[in-house]
Amino acid sequence: MRLTRNRISVAIGAIALLHSPTLLAESVSITNPSFESSSQFEGWVDVDPSSLSGVAYDGTKAVKISGSGGSVEQTVNLQADTTYTLSAFIKGAGTIGLRIGGQVYSQKVSGNSDWAELTVSANSGSQTQATVFAEYNGAEGRFDSFTMNSSASTPSAPPAETGSCDSPTQLTIASAKDDGTHDGHGPENAIDNNLTTESRWSSQGIGKQIVFDLQANATVTSLDVIWLKGDQRSSYFDVATSSDNTSWTPVLSGAGSSGAQSAYESYELTESQARYIRITGQGNSANNWNSIIEAKAFGCSDGSAPVDPVDPVDPVVPVEPSDPNLNPSLAPSGNFDLLDWTLSVPVDEDSDGKADTVKEQALSSGYTSNEFFYTASDGGMVFKAPISGAKTSSSTSYTRSELREMLRRGNTSYSTKGVGKNNWVFSSAPSSAQDQAGGVNGVLDANLAVNHVTTSGDSGQVGRVIVGQIHANDDEPVRLYYRKLPNNQLGSIYIAHEPRSGSEKYYEMIGSRSNSASNPSDGIALDERFSYQIKVVANTLTVTISRPDKADVVQTVDMSNSGYDDSSQYMYFKAGVYNQNKSGDGDDYVQATFYSLSNTHDGYNY
What is d(CA 294, CA 82) in angstroms, rounded to the nearest whole number? 35
Rounded to an integer, the average pLDDT of 533-544 is: 98
Confidence of residue 396 (pLDDT cuts 50, 70, 90): confident
1 or 120, greater pLDDT: 120
Query: Where does residue 359 rank: exposed (0-12), middle (13-18), buried (19+ CB within 10 A)?
Result: middle
Q: What are the CB-based long-range contacts (under 8 Å, 24+) for 176-181?
A: 176/201, 176/210, 176/211, 176/212, 176/213, 176/295, 177/210, 177/211, 177/213, 178/203, 178/208, 178/209, 178/210, 178/211, 179/203, 179/208, 179/209, 181/205, 181/208, 181/489
What is d(CA 399, CA 383) in angstroms, rounded to the nearest whole number? 12
pLDDT tops 70 at residue 158: no
pTM: 0.52
373 or 150, greater pLDDT: 373
- Percent of residues, the chain, with pLDDT higher than 70: 89
Query: Where does residue 356 rank: exposed (0-12), middle (13-18), buried (19+ CB within 10 A)?
Result: middle
pLDDT on residue 25? 54
Summarize pLDDT for 406-446 with one digit per residue, the tens: 999 999 999 999 999 999 999 999 999 999 999 999 999 99
- CB-based contact 203:181 (threshold 8 Å): yes
pLDDT on residue 111? 65
pLDDT tops 80 at residue 190: yes
pLDDT on residue 323? 62
Positions of E strands within 8-140: 27-28, 45-47, 50-53, 62-65, 71-77, 83-100, 103-123, 129-135
- CB-based contact 584:568 (threshold 8 Å): no
Rounded to an integer, the average pLDDT of 11-37 is: 59
Full DSSP string of 375-411: E-TTS-EEEEEESSS--SSTT----EEEEEE-TTTT-
173 CB neighbour count, 10 Å cutoff: 16
pLDDT on residue 20? 34
Per DSSP, the three-state class of 483 is: strand
End-to-end CA, the chain: 56
84 or 369, greater pLDDT: 369
pLDDT on residue 347? 95
Name the CA radius of gyration of the chain, rounded: 28
Per DSSP, the three-state class of 360 is: helix
pLDDT on residue 313? 36
Summarize pLDDT for 328-343 with one digit per residue, the tens: 999 999 999 999 999 9
What is d(CA 315, CA 320) in angstroms, rounded to the nearest whole number? 15
Using CA atoms, how far residue 392 sits from 40, 141, 468, in Å, is 39, 28, 17
Lowest average pLDDT, out of 87-91, 145-149, 202-206, 235-239, goes to 202-206
Lowest average pLDDT, out of 303-317, 420-434, 505-519, 561-575, goes to 303-317
397 or 463, greater pLDDT: 463
Rounded to an integer, the average pLDDT of 560-571 is: 97
